[in-house]
Structure 1
Amino acid sequence: MDIQQTEKPWEYLEELIEAKDAARIRSFLDNTNPADTALAISRIDDDLVNNLMILLNPEDAAELIEDLSDTQAAEIMEDLEPSQAAAIFEELDSDHVVDILGEMDKDDANAIISQMNPEDAEEARQFLTYDEDTAGGLMISEFLDYRSNQTVQDVLEDLQNNREEYAEYDVQYIYITDSAGHLEGVLRMRDLLFPQRSTPLSKLMIRNPYKTIVTAPLDELRNFFEEHNLFGAPVVDQDNRLVGIVLPEAVEDAKQKKSVNQFLGLSGIIGGEEFRSMPVAVRAGRRFSWLSLNIFLNIIAASIIALYQDTIAAVIALAVFLPIVSDMSGNSGQQAAAVSMRELTLGLLRPHEFGRVIIKEASVGILNGIGLGLLLGGLVYLWQGNLILGLVIGLALALNTLLSVLVGGLTPLLLKMLKLDPALVTGALITTITDMGGFFLVLSFATIVLDKL
């Protein structure tokens, strides 16, 4: 079967694994793009995936792992014997090692690390101490550094002697450090081309180069690369020792991953990424935790309706407009929440600045509340022919819009102060509060003027 002629590459891969044809498997992987590789792996049984990893040598297995998402790769590595997984990890770049280990069960990760060679194991343990969305969590440890008293000739000879190893590095710069590893300067690769070979690096290097601290958060890193058009930045610890290199593409990938996780959180997928290839019990558990919470929140909102059953029974038309008021207000609240979360992410807003948010959102809420209230109230009047009903619905929407933007704007700040992820909780709280507010305002106003409806 020609891989180029099938729309189901996993079927072809299954045949190769069952035939234990390692050579053709390697050819298949070499000629398949990463997306199709990930698709094929996701569609075959776990036992076949395990057999595939056994058939491949550690270097080829590492290339396969690099084509997969961290979550998918972690699941595969957890099913392997620790010694086999360790051999594959030793072929991966440092950033892949840390990302995948970070997705794994802690016991499984430690079992694998214990089987790695001491130097790689120590590096992995150190990297895992850094938060994943910091320079330390995103950096790679593969870089070139030399002493300031070395010459251009020394560097060129080292590059030539280790060309096979260095070919795997992402080399754009070389770094100058002292004997203790403190960063002193940086050289672009092109700076080695024209000087005399006897020239010491101290005369060529850029002193006090741009750098970032190992604890720098993701947003700070993104701003750093937007301000400085660099192919990579040295990462130093508190003592200015060079510990790694962070690349701009790693920062953008992390930002995208964070956005995806926030979207999943807002959608009710708790616990990270979910794939349909995951065990059903795991997927169901992640979703159930969110859905069960929503039952209680919705019961709270519905209890408002229960208090006004007689009013609804007297004016059935109210039931038509209750969801409209709550839905419109909820949308306004989500807009305000999105702005707060974005400003918190960019560092344009601090968690304690409640007053600023109240002033800014109240002005928007009043204007939009009046506009939406007049619009919906007018439509209700034209539809039902009842001016009082239109006023009830319009006034309720106006006030609930103001309430929703204040709740939406302030909730992310409060959650941030409590060390909670705003993306996971804000949506549910806004929905519940705006539903309660909308139901209460419509039904309480209607009850006051019930004899005129």
Structure 2
Amino acid sequence: MSETQSDELPQLATQDEERPWLTMARLAEEGDSDALVAYVESLSTADQALALSRLDTEQMPQVFETLHPDEAAELLSHLSEAQAAQTIGLLDPSSAAAIIHELPSDEQADVLGDLDEDQANAILDALPATEAAAVRELTAYKDDVAGGLMVSELLRFNEKLTVGQMIEQLAGDLERDREMDVRYGYVCDDQNRLVGVLPMQNLLFVKRASRIADIMIRNPLSVRDTTPLEDLVEFFETHAFLGVPVVNSDGGLMGIVQRKAVDYEAFRAAESDYLKSQGIVGGEELRTMPLLLRSRRRLSWLSINIVLNLGAASVIALFQDTLQSVIALAVFLPIISDMSGCSGNQAVAISMRELSLGLVRPSEFLRVWWQEVSLGLVNGTVLGLLVAICAIVFDGNPYLGLVVGLALMLNTLIAVSIGGTIPLLLKKLKVDPAVASGPLLTTVTDMCGFFLVLSLATLMLSKLV
């Protein structure tokens, strides 16, 4: 960076500090690539993401086409996958391909996998043929299996090489890709089957004429390309590795899954489950996405919930005479519904977490149910007593306290039973528990809560009026 550019940088950084996208757009419009690179590097990762999210559809391509491809790739890697795909989708295929070329193979697959098929194919056609073929192979895997998480850039050596030949090959490999991980070399036979792993630091202590087959670690641990995320999380919890080689059904070396990639995907899976449980279906949502897309994703859950809630409303309609006779019940209906729902959601959260960590199996229905019932009996009794005391203080009638307290205790038992077991049942039925558990729990606890309060009140109506 020149001295003049360094002098200009503080001035650029102080301009529009609260609106960095304005400075970014202005520099891109001026076509000052070096100044734009300097300004982008002066921003934090969070400010970079903020600035890019505020650029309009005309400014975004201008910024990325003004940056050098390697700088644009670095900026793109700091964005979420949804933002990265949205950004790449705005560029022409040749510009997008130049940026994609600079990304690691796993990030290439992630970004292109989030584009529609025509956009992705146009960009792949602009990449070198061998690179495009490798990316197509990666995008064929799901995101939550080893094949979808692996990187194909690795040091691969034939077992017949000597250490001297290996070092010569290593120099050429690093010349082609300086970002490659050089801590381990992976040794294969003539059929590309993984036969050993070699810590590269070991090369310092052996003669160049030595065969690498004599100094490598034989029969290394590996995972299949179809290994699911849950098993990968368990693998890295059990082994203190930074990465593990990935092989296909024939034992052929495909790539490496790094611990950081597994941790990131596990975090994304948990985040996705949370969004689904809140009724945001279809993946990550950003407010910069098209309005109709965001609306459709939310309405897909909300519209179903209307139908489910009609069931709870119908219970109130059945007991409207009782409700009219004892107006005080209307005060406690939402309390019982909400408190039971909270207890049920706690049980859902624990079951979802244990399922994701592999700590419980869908077949362990009865064990989970008994543990939740035991807890629900204790918590339900405590909560029932508390709400009963509140009802007596509010209305002065002990029978009202008995009705609402008993209803809350029983509904808490129902809520934790459903909340703890329904994710297991849905998982066994191959239905996404993150999507379905919440609506089912809410509907059933509302219906049961209303029914318990109003039916008990009907039985004791003479004592309440």
When the two structures are superposed, what TM-score results if normalisation uses the length of structure 1? 0.96
Per the alignment, residue 293 of structure 1 pairs with 304
Q: Secondary structure at the match of 2:141?
A: coil
1:1-400 counterparts in 2 under 5 A? 2-5=11-14, 6-400=17-411
1:297 Cα deviation from its structure 2 partner:
2.0
Residue identity matched to 1:104: L
Gap change, CA 1:306 and 1:285, over 3 Å in 2: same
1:3 Cα deviation from its structure 2 partner:
3.9
1:384 Cα deviation from its structure 2 partner:
2.0
Q: Secondary structure at the match of 1:288?
A: helix
Residue identity matched to 1:4: A
**Alpha-carbon separation, structure 1, partners of 2:47 and 2:164:** 45
Residue identity matched to 1:330: G
Unaligned runs of 5+ in 2: 1-9
Residue identity matched to 1:40: A
Contact persistence 2:187–2:197 (CA under 8 A) = yes
**Alpha-carbon separation, structure 2, partners of 1:35 and 1:80:** 22
1:431-442 counterparts in 2 under 5 A? 431-442=442-453
Contact persistence 1:304–1:440 (CA under 8 A) = yes
1:389-428 counterparts in 2 under 5 A? 389-428=400-439
**Alpha-carbon separation, structure 1, partners of 2:341 and 2:401:** 20
Which moves more between the two structures, 434-443 or 69-78?
69-78
Deviations 1:268-293 (A, max 9, x none): 21111111222222222222222222
1:16 Cα deviation from its structure 2 partner:
0.5
**Alpha-carbon separation, structure 1, partners of 2:244 and 2:183:** 10
Residue identity matched to 1:192: L
Deviations 1:354-374 (A, max 9, x none): 222222222222222222222
Q: Secondary structure at the match of 2:126?
A: coil
Residue identity matched to 1:172: R
**Alpha-carbon separation, structure 1, partners of 2:77 and 2:210:** 40
Deviations 1:162-188 (A, max 9, x none): 433342112221011011110000011
Which moves more between the two structures, 441-450 or 103-112?
103-112
**Alpha-carbon separation, structure 2, partners of 1:112 and 1:160:** 30
**Alpha-carbon separation, structure 2, partners of 1:198 and 1:2:** 58
Which moves more between the two structures, 375-384 or 333-342?
375-384
Q: Secondary structure at the match of 1:281?
A: helix
Contact persistence 1:172–1:232 (CA under 8 A) = no
1:198 Cα deviation from its structure 2 partner:
1.6
1:449 Cα deviation from its structure 2 partner:
1.0
1:452 Cα deviation from its structure 2 partner:
0.7
Residue identity matched to 1:215: T
Q: Secondary structure at the match of 2:58?
A: helix
Per the alignment, residue 451 of structure 1 pairs with 462
1:349 Cα deviation from its structure 2 partner:
2.0
1:149 Cα deviation from its structure 2 partner:
2.1
**Alpha-carbon separation, structure 2, partners of 1:127 and 1:364:** 46
Which moves more between the two structures, 375-384 or 120-129?
375-384
What is the root-mean-square deviation of aligned Cα atoms in Å?
A: 1.7
**Alpha-carbon separation, structure 2, partners of 1:361 and 1:67:** 42
Q: How many residues align?
A: 453
Which moves more between the two structures, 293-302 or 325-334?
293-302
1:259 Cα deviation from its structure 2 partner:
1.3
1:397 Cα deviation from its structure 2 partner:
0.9
Q: Secondary structure at the match of 2:282?
A: coil
1:437 Cα deviation from its structure 2 partner:
0.4
Residue identity matched to 2:161: Q
**Alpha-carbon separation, structure 2, partners of 1:122 and 1:404:** 51
Residue identity matched to 2:149: L
Contact persistence 2:362–2:425 (CA under 8 A) = yes
Deviations 1:38-71 (A, max 9, x none): 1111111111111222323433332222122111
Contact persistence 2:155–2:173 (CA under 8 A) = no
Contact persistence 2:24–2:63 (CA under 8 A) = no
Contact persistence 1:261–1:273 (CA under 8 A) = yes
Residue identity matched to 2:454: L
Q: Secondary structure at the match of 2:180?
A: coil
**Alpha-carbon separation, structure 2, partners of 1:276 and 1:3:** 28
**Alpha-carbon separation, structure 1, partners of 2:42 and 2:159:** 44
Q: Secondary structure at the match of 2:205?
A: coil
**Alpha-carbon separation, structure 1, partners of 2:374 and 2:79:** 47
1:105 Cα deviation from its structure 2 partner:
1.8
**Alpha-carbon separation, structure 1, partners of 2:132 and 2:219:** 32
**Alpha-carbon separation, structure 1, partners of 2:391 and 2:369:** 30
Contact persistence 2:372–2:416 (CA under 8 A) = yes
Q: Secondary structure at the match of 1:46?
A: coil
Residue identity matched to 1:106: E
Contact persistence 1:3–1:9 (CA under 8 A) = no
